[in-house]
């Protein structure tokens, strides 16, 4: 059976100066390596879909480490795992973690790094004899990536009680298994899933460590950065309808070419975000042309616009601007346009107070406090609908993610653990 020696790769360039205050680079590298061999693909990537036996096996591995660290471990009806360290006082808990599921043939850092950095904080406290005033919980959320049902955040939605069960019960995976059948396959039930909603008064906040999945930190030569907010996506479907015709027999002045109109729209949309917000983005990544013939004037074009920003107002302003642009371009070219909103999720800005605390923790560890938005969704985005959150990004090599080539240097991971530990300890007063 193929094995990946991720631990050795991580340790190759590791500087042991980061081993202090009870934090161990070798332990973190070993654990990342052990998880990497669960669901290992022939290309050297990860394949641990949500609610799969591979995801369950990875959870069970981490549960073993949690038990060794002296945590009180439990799994809820959604498969979420919580390893709890009681504090000196009976107060709401600080929770930290991420997920261990992956996309098909994904990387080895997206998710597991967030879980293991949180666990490393507990290990450090054990070695130094520190006990927090407040309870601290290491969490593994189920099914963040959504590879099984093209959705995601199944565990975090269940924990905060916002899962759309009517919709989930209609889902089927690629093998034709229903959501209920998939749950049963890993020892869960629909009833238990619904009952996994927590009393949120028990939780003070959630802090997630995650790889950046971008290049900003690498360009800044920084190990980690402070997330200012998590962008909320909106997907719009546009259909431009003109008149199909023969490419040779229809003069240029007498055409209603849907693709020409759509092309102008695509160019215009690419220029809109910077007019509205520095953190806004708009992407057109899918397009369908009909009849799609070499010698036929396109009669219809359907395309999809993905619009995101970390601020709701500017995100919604950009949506309005894109819709207006679609109408004006269609009128200019004598074609019609219809738009359908396929999805809209509110962005989650992160409180300034939490960002300021993370700044102090970065400075305490000699790291420039660089701030950046998250364009991708995370469990923190879901939890942030109900609870205060904070988020740290770890530098990603070349910005690659969801690929076997995904990579974060162990030195950067370890510096982030130190920032996380300092941050959690700063919340104890």
**Long-range CB contacts (< 8 A, 24+ apart) of 403-406?**
403/45, 403/105, 403/106, 403/107, 404/41, 404/43, 404/44, 404/45, 404/46, 404/105, 404/106, 404/107, 405/107, 406/106, 406/107, 406/108, 406/109, 406/110, 406/211
**DSSP designation for 17:** G
DSSP run (H or E) holding 79 = none
With 0-12 / 13-18 / 19 or more C-beta atoms within 10 angstroms meaning exposed / middle / buried, residue 341 is exposed
CA angle 350, 25, 376 (to 5 degrees): 30
Looking at the structure, do residues 179 and 89 belong to the same domain, yes or no?
A: yes
Looking at the structure, do residues 386 and 324 belong to the same domain, yes or no?
A: no
CA–CA distance from 228 to each of 270, 282, 392, 418 (Å)? 23, 19, 9, 20
pLDDT tens digits, one per residue of 337-387: 999 998 888 899 999 999 999 999 999 999 999 999 998 889 999 999 999
Angle between helices 53-68 and 25-36 (to 10 degrees): 160
CA–CA distance from 417 to each of 99, 110, 199 (Å)? 17, 15, 28
Last residue of a domain, one of 344, 367, 382: 344
Confidence of residue 422 (pLDDT cuts 50, 70, 90): very high
**How many domains in the chain?**
2
Residue length, the chain? 429
pLDDT at 344: 86
Last residue of a domain, one of 292, 310, 344: 344
Looking at the structure, do residues 175 and 58 belong to the same domain, yes or no?
A: yes
pTM to 2 decimal places: 0.88
Query: What CATH number does residue 319 fall under?
Result: 3.30.70.360
Of 83-97, 118-132, 149-163, 238-252, the least confident: 149-163
pLDDT at 35: 98
Looking at the structure, do residues 308 and 330 belong to the same domain, yes or no?
A: yes
Looking at the structure, do residues 200 and 290 belong to the same domain, yes or no?
A: no
| Number of other CB atoms surrounding residue 419 within 10 Å | 26
Q: How far apart are CA 398 and CA 392, in angstroms?
A: 18
The mean pLDDT value for 320-346 works out to 95
pLDDT tens digits, one per residue of 141-165: 999 999 888 788 999 999 999 999 9
Confidence of residue 1 (pLDDT cuts 50, 70, 90): low
CA angle 322, 301, 245 (to 5 degrees): 135
What 3-state DSSP class applies to 150? coil
pLDDT at 192: 97
Mean pLDDT across the chain: 96
pLDDT tens digits, one per residue of 222-237: 999 999 999 988 999 9
Looking at the structure, do residues 352 and 290 belong to the same domain, yes or no?
A: no
Looking at the structure, do residues 286 and 384 belong to the same domain, yes or no?
A: no
Residue 231 backbone phi and psi in degrees, to 5: -65, 140
Cis peptide, bond prior to residue 291, ω within 30 of zero: yes
The mean pLDDT value for 245-251 works out to 95
Looking at the structure, do residues 171 and 105 belong to the same domain, yes or no?
A: yes
Query: Does 141 map to a domain?
Result: yes
* Full residue range of the structural domain in which residue 327 is found: 232-344
DSSP run (H or E) holding 328 = helix 312-333
Looking at the structure, do residues 418 and 281 belong to the same domain, yes or no?
A: no
Looking at the structure, do residues 78 and 191 belong to the same domain, yes or no?
A: yes
Confidence of residue 244 (pLDDT cuts 50, 70, 90): very high
Q: How far apart are CA 217 and CA 221, in angstroms?
A: 6
Looking at the structure, do residues 77 and 188 belong to the same domain, yes or no?
A: yes
Residues 24 and 46 sit within 8 Å (Cβ to Cβ): no
Looking at the structure, do residues 330 and 271 belong to the same domain, yes or no?
A: yes
Query: What CATH number does residue 128 fall under?
Result: 3.40.630.10
pLDDT at 143: 96
- The side-by-side arrangement of strands in the sheet containing 300-309 is 281-290, 300-309, 232-241, 336-344
Q: How far apart are CA 83 and CA 139, in angstroms?
A: 6
């Amino acid at each position: 059976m193929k094995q990946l020696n991720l631990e050795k790769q991580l340790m190759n360039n590791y500087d042991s100066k980061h081993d202090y205050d009870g934090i161990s680079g070798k332990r973190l590298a070993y654990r990342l390596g052990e998880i990497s061999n669960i669901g290992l693909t022939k290309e050297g990537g990860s394949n641990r879909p949500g609610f799969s036996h591979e995801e369950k096996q990875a959870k069970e591995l981490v549960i073993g480490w949690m038990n060794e660290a002296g945590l009180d471990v439990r799994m809820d009806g959604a498969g979420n795992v919580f390893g709890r360290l009681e504090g000196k006082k009976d107060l709401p808990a600080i929770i930290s973690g991420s997920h261990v599921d992956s996309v098909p043939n994904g990387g080895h850092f997206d998710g597991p790094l967030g879980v293991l950095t949180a666990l490393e904080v507990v290990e450090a406290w054990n070695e130094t004899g520190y006990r927090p005033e407040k309870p601290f919980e290491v969490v593994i959320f189920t099914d963040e990536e959504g590879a099984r049902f093209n959705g995601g955040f199944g565990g975090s939605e269940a924990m905060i009680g916002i899962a759309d069960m009517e919709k989930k019960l209609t889902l089927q995976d690629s093998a034709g298994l229903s959501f209920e059948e998939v749950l049963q396959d890993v020892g869960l039930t629909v009833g238990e899933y619904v009952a996994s909603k927590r009393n949120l008064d028990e939780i003070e906040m959630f802090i997630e460590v995650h790889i950046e999945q971008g290049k900003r930190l690498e360009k800044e030569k920084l190990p980690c950065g402070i997330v200012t907010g998590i962008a909320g996506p909106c997907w719009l479907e546009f259909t431009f309808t003109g008149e199909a015709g023969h490419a040779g027999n229809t003069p240029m002045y007498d055409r209603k070419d849907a693709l020409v109109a759509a092309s102008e729209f695509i160019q215009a949309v690419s220029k809109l975000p910077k007019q509205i917000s520095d953190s806004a983005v708009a992407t057109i990544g899918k397009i369908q042309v009909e009849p799609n013939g070499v010698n036929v004037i396109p009669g219809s074009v359907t395309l999809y616009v993905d619009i995101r920003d970390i601020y709701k107002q500017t995100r919604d302003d950009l949506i309005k601007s894109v819709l207006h642009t679609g109408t004006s371009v269609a009128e200019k070219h004598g074609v019609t346009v219809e738009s359908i909103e396929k999805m809209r999720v509110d962005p989650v800005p992160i409180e300034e107070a939490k960002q300021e605390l993370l700044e102090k923790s970065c400075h305490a560890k000699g790291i420039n406090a660089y701030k950046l938005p998250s364009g991708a969704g995370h469990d923190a985005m879901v939890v942030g609908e109900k609870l205060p959150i904070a988020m740290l990004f770890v530098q990603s090599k070349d910005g690659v993610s969801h690929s076997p080539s995904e990579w974060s240097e162990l030195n950067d991971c370890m510096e982030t653990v130190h920032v996380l530990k300092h941050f959690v300890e700063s919340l104890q007063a």
